[in-house]
Amino acid sequence: MRNATAEKSHVTIAAKAIGAFRHVFQRLRLPLRDPFAVAGLCIYLLFALTAICANVIAPYPATEILFNPDFTLAADLRPGENGFLLGTTSLGRDIFSQIVYGTRSALLIGLTAAVIVALIGSIVGVVAGYFGGWVDTLLMRLADIAFGIPFLPFVIVLAAFLEPSIWNVVFAMALVLWRDTARVIRSQVLTLRTRGYVDAARVCGSSDLKILLRHIAPNIMPLAFLYGSIAIGWAILTEASISFLGFGDPESISWGYMLQDAFANQALGKQAYYWFLPPGICIILIVSAGFFITRGYEQILFPKLGR
């Protein structure tokens, strides 16, 4: 008797979970009709899988210095020599493995930054738009200040004081890059406020929090998601720039770090295309994927720009 009830409750919980998941999924309104958007989603998926299974896919650890069978340093080998798929760096590290492990820091930083930027931006935008008055003025002045801070130089200046770490970029983004999302979400909230049901809910006595959660939040989610996706690309590009300039974390091999390594070791002059092209191409793929997905969203959210 008890088992049957327990089983039943498990089933209902599972059903509710699936229902909730599907509800959120539908709210996100993934753009599945645009072929480029689909390609973008596939690229994300591919990189995500690579990041998760990096240990299995990469033949060597990213920082391990490797040697030839004859005990010489396996440095500057071209693709295919001695079994290195993409050749090796001047220090004897396997480029292919570095690429594979690079997906981890790219995705990690991309997703974290995107979530934080979207979250802060949305909260600021919603609070400013919903409550108005001095709160709105204060928050928008803060946004103005954020707009006045040149982002990349700011990250560089921070790098002067903070320990080199991939989280510096995330920190800087959290401080500065919420500004675009905040402004856009705020104007969305302002439009929503003019619609009857917010006032109607107020008249019914709903608390502000309830209105925010039930009416406002679901309507801004697609927009927040869109700006979050853009933020992923921004984060990855910024991290690459920072690493390239020498302020990145030398322990975690990112694609930006690889490019700095290549540049510093005269890869350009040595025509070592196998070294500096793959990391750049990976960055391009993952950032473009983000753009294509957001473009798919644009068709859904702003159809007047449509075909």
Partner 1 sequence: MPYLKVLTGKILQLVLVLWAVVTILFLLFRLMPGNPMAAYIEPAFTLEQQEQLMAQFGLDRPLWEQYFIYLGNLLQGELGQSFRYREAVSERILDLLPNTLVLTFTSLIIAYAFGVLAGAYLAWRHGKTVEAIGIPAVLVTRAMPEFWLGMVMLAVFSFWLGWFPAGGTRSPGMEFGSQFELYTSGEFFRHLALPALTLAIYSQGLPLLLMRSNMLEVMKEDFVTMAKIKGLSGWTVVIRHAARNALLPVMTSFAIAVGYQLQGNVVVESVFSWPGLGRELVSAVSAADYPLAQGAFLLIAVVVILMNLIADLLYAFLDPRIRHA
Contacts with partner 1 by CB under 8 A lie at 36, 141, 144-145, 147-154, 156-161, 233, 237, 240-241, 244-247, 256, 259, 262-263, 268-269, 271, 273, 276-277, 279-280, 283-285, 287-288, 290-292, 295, 305, 307
Closer residue to partner 1 in complex, CB, 127/140: 140
- Give me the least distance between CB of 162 and partner 1, in Å please: 9
Closer residue to partner 1 in complex, CB, 60/291: 291
Structure tokens at 8: 């039943």
Contact 289, 41 (CB under 8 A): yes
- Give me the least distance between CB of 69 and partner 1, in Å please: 31
- Give me the least distance between CB of 276 and partner 1, in Å please: 6
Smallest CA-to-CA distance from 256 within 187, 171, 196, 166 is with 166
Closer residue to partner 1 in complex, CB, 126/296: 296
Closer residue to partner 1 in complex, CB, 121/290: 290
Contacts of residue 209, defined as CB under 8 A and 6 or more positions apart, other chains included, come to none
- Give me the least distance between CB of 95 and partner 1, in Å please: 15
- Give me the least distance between CB of 227 and partner 1, in Å please: 16
Closer residue to partner 1 in complex, CB, 167/273: 273
Closer residue to partner 1 in complex, CB, 62/267: 267
- Give me the least distance between CB of 191 and partner 1, in Å please: 20
Contacts of residue 57, defined as CB under 8 A and 6 or more positions apart, other chains included, come to 50, 100
